[in-house]
Amino acid sequence: MSSAVELYEQLASAPDDKTRARLIAEAFERMEERYPEVKDLATQTHLRETELRLQKEITEAEGRVRVEVEQLRAQLSKEMEQQRADLSKDIEQQRTGLSREIEQLRADLSKDFEQQRAELSKDIEQLRAELSREIEQLRADLSKEIEQLRGGILRWVVGLLAGQIAVILAALFAVARG
């Protein structure tokens, strides 16, 4: 059966009530096959109630999410502050350690400088002493050579004077004899 008009015609032409009841039952059966039970169908009211319930759940979920987000923000902010504090502490410790190391290096360099200065002073004094000894030795050697030269020059001058005196005396004896 395809339409309500055909059903009406069949009911009007049915010979008895039993046939009419069967036709009505068949029509209900076909209608149930085509359309599920009304209790399973969502009505406009059901849809609106579901929509309101879902909106309420969404609103509640948003509230919970906001609270969780705020808690996470607060926790993250606290952790960041702790990290900053730890980092500042680490930086300060590093600065203190570096300052100590720098002061130690300065002290070591100063000590090394003073040791080198003392060693250089000692070396300079040794060189001065050696130079003084060498100069004194050179003076002594030069004085000795000068004395030797003086003696040689004196002997030479005496010899030269003696030779000249001898020549003059010889010339005087020759003039006197002559």
pLDDT (tens digit per residue) in 60-112: 888 898 999 999 999 999 999 999 999 999 999 999 999 999 999 999 999 99
Is residue 25 in some structural domain? no
Predicted structure pTM score: 0.39
Rounded Cα distance between 150 and 31, Å, is 162
pLDDT for 45 equals 79
- Asked if residue 10 belongs to a domain, the reply is no
pLDDT tens by residue, 132-173: 999 999 999 999 999 898 888 888 888 888 889 989 988 888
In a domain? residue 32: no
**What is the per-residue pLDDT for 119?**
92
Question: Do the domain assignments include residue 7?
Answer: no
Q: Which residues of 108-138 are buried (b: 16+ CB within 10 A; e: fewer)?
A: eeeeeeeeeeeeeeeeeeeeeeeeeeeeeee
Whether residue 26 lies inside any domain: the answer is: no
In a domain, 5, yes or no: no
Q: Residue 148 falls within a domain, yes or no?
A: yes
Structure confidence at residue 116 (pLDDT): 92
Residue range(s) defining the domain that contains residue 125: 42-177
Asked whether residue 164 is domain-assigned, the answer is: yes
DSSP letter for 42, please: P
Q: Does 1 score more than 60 pLDDT?
A: no
* Domains in the chain, number: 1
